[in-house]
Structure 1
Amino acid sequence: MLIYRVDEPRLGAMRVREWRRRALHSIGLLLLVLTGATAGLVLLNRSHTSLATKVFNAVWDGVNLITTLGDFTDFAKDQKIFMLLAMFATLLVGGYAVTTLTGVLSGDDVMAYRENRIMARKLENLTGHVIVAGFRPVGERVATRLREAGETVMVLVADQTLADKAAEQGYLVVLGEPGVFDDVLRHARLDTARVLVVTSTDANANLAITLMAHRLNPKLRIAVSGENSLRKELLESAGASDVVIADDLIANALVAQLGIDLKVAI
């Protein structure tokens, strides 16, 4: 799977534009050689055929020259000399094209640019997905169980290593630094998502993500972990639909393992 990078390396787009400029320049030079070869062959053609026929034959021979498929054995000496010069010009243009275009599109920044273009098209049609913010142990487990349940899972991360890990496991990934996480949420298609699960280990980050997500889509169901009842109230006021206090879950699980009825214990 690919990674959508919100803070896309701008150098990639610049390199692609530069490659296109050089490619157009090379094509222009080839057309210039073709035009020159055509004009020269027309002028050197001393046959009594019509001008239209001379032009057609000249264009045909010029294209053969550029594509290196020509057979010019029937040419007169002055035509052969002219074609030798045209061949040399074609070689120069071909060498220029090879040296200026080769390797421009093989850099990491260009690959990131291409990935973003592909991922942008995927995200445009995405709907009914579940978003998991964070891919540390808890987030990874949540994503795994959701996918096992048949959900389409998107992972939001701020770390390149975690993004690579999630992508290797086949998840849709949106990567962005904490400073641009509002843009990360916008690209995650919250408007068509079913649920957002916030699993960051940073309590303040969880609160901020919940608040931003609720602002972008007030109807979105948001599940997030909280540390205590006060944090739960803050998260709910920020727009969280479901707040899970980890310590309560652990305590309940431990008591349940002892076989003690929680109601009796209370």
Structure 2
Amino acid sequence: MSTPEADDMWIYRVNEPRLGAVRVREWRRRARHAIVMLVMLLAAATGGLMLLDQSAAPLHTRLFNALWNAANLTTTLGDFSDFDERQKIFVLAAMFVTMFVAAFAISRLTGILSGDDVLAYRENRAMERHFERLAGHIVIVGYRSLGQRISAKLREAGETVLVLVADELLADKAAESGNLVILGTADAFDDALRRARLDSAKALIATSPDGDANLAITLLANTLNRSLPIIVPGENNLRKTLLENAGATEVVIGDEILANALIGKLGAHAEVAP
């Protein structure tokens, strides 16, 4: 499954800047006002040109010509009918009003959507739409050395990786590497797990160096999806028992793996010794 945009990196921020949504709502309000002003200008120009049209043409023809000329005036296309002097004076005045209204509308609308908070708001909306289709992904909690190695190997194997982190620099690094990312501060990490679509995930791997954090993550993840495979590192057999009771499917004790590897190396050297 691909990421939201092939060439862009996206991060979902649980603590979304509130000002982003405020700015977007304000821009929409101003855009509505600008449209109303343009419609009123179009209606006023149509009415004025109708009143100034002294031709003997039928009413519907004069109305159509007035609307045509008003639309050309407000859109600056310039494809006008023939005008008499009074109509030209009216159109000239209307042109200045149109320029004023357009300049006012542009000044009210430009710049308001260029802030970082608005970009974060738009990223979150795009990520939410992507999360609706997300399934079969592997969630990695933490993106320090261990998390980086695991995510790289999983991506090489063609897996979709969703990284959960509480550090913005690590979130940027994870996104730059091609992962989907949810950024949630420590006090909002429960929300980050709830948004990770654990109901449709393939597995969760906790990589935090903090054993208590891994225990809390295991408990919450198991609560959200009791059938989800959860793989967690453990410091010793006691911690392994705690994690398994919390819902961990596999608990990996690093010291045991390292000890077995070292002993294996020792045995290999002993076999080749004279």
TM class, shorter-chain normalised?
A: over 0.9
Query: What is the alpha-carbon distance in structure 2 between the residues aligned to residue 222 and residue 228 of structure 1?
Result: 17
- 1:77 correspondence with 2:102: no
Contact 1:13 1:110 survives alignment (8 Å): yes
Matched letter for residue 47 of structure 2: A
The equivalent position to 1:32 in structure 2, one of 33, 37, 40, is 40
Task: Identify the residue that residue 54 of structure 1 maps to in structure 2.
Answer: 62
Secondary structure of the 2:241 match is helix
Show structure 1 runs of 5+ residues with no match.
Answer: 261-266
Contact 2:142 2:207 survives alignment (8 Å): yes
Cα deviation, 1:2-28, whole Å, max 9, x if unaligned, reads 111111111111111111111111111
Cα deviation, 1:35-55, whole Å, max 9, x if unaligned, reads 100000101111111111111
Alignment RMSD (CA, Å) = 1.4
Offset of residue 174 of structure 1: 1.0
- 1:146 correspondence with 2:154: yes
Query: What is the alpha-carbon distance in structure 1 between the residues aligned to residue 157 and residue 240 of structure 2?
Result: 27
Cα deviation, 1:60-112, whole Å, max 9, x if unaligned, reads 00000011122557311111111111111101111011111111111111111
- 1:195 correspondence with 2:203: yes
Contact 2:69 2:81 survives alignment (8 Å): no
Secondary structure of the 2:267 match is coil
Q: TM-score, normalized by length of structure 2?
A: 0.92
Contact 1:72 1:80 survives alignment (8 Å): no
Secondary structure of the 2:38 match is helix
Show structure 2 runs of 5+ residues with no match.
Answer: 1-8, 269-274
Query: What is the alpha-carbon distance in structure 1 between the residues aligned to residue 138 and residue 212 of structure 2?
Result: 22
Secondary structure of the 1:210 match is helix
The equivalent position to 1:159 in structure 2, one of 160, 163, 167, is 167
Offset of residue 150 of structure 1: 2.2
- 1:173 correspondence with 2:191: no
- 1:183 correspondence with 2:191: yes
Offset of residue 154 of structure 1: 1.0
The equivalent position to 1:224 in structure 2, one of 232, 245, 251, is 232
Task: Identify the residue that residue 212 of structure 2 maps to in structure 1.
Answer: 204
Query: What is the alpha-carbon distance in structure 2 between the residues aligned to residue 246 and residue 28 of structure 1?
Result: 66
Task: Identify the residue that residue 263 of structure 1 maps to in structure 2.
Answer: none
Give the 4+ runs in structure 1 shifted more than 4 A. none
Contact 2:38 2:74 survives alignment (8 Å): yes
Contact 2:65 2:81 survives alignment (8 Å): no
Secondary structure of the 1:259 match is helix
Task: Identify the residue that residue 14 of structure 1 maps to in structure 2.
Answer: 22
Q: TM-score, normalized by length of structure 1?
A: 0.95
Query: What is the alpha-carbon distance in structure 2 between the residues aligned to residue 94 and residue 85 of structure 1?
Result: 14
Secondary structure of the 1:225 match is strand
How many residues get paired?
261
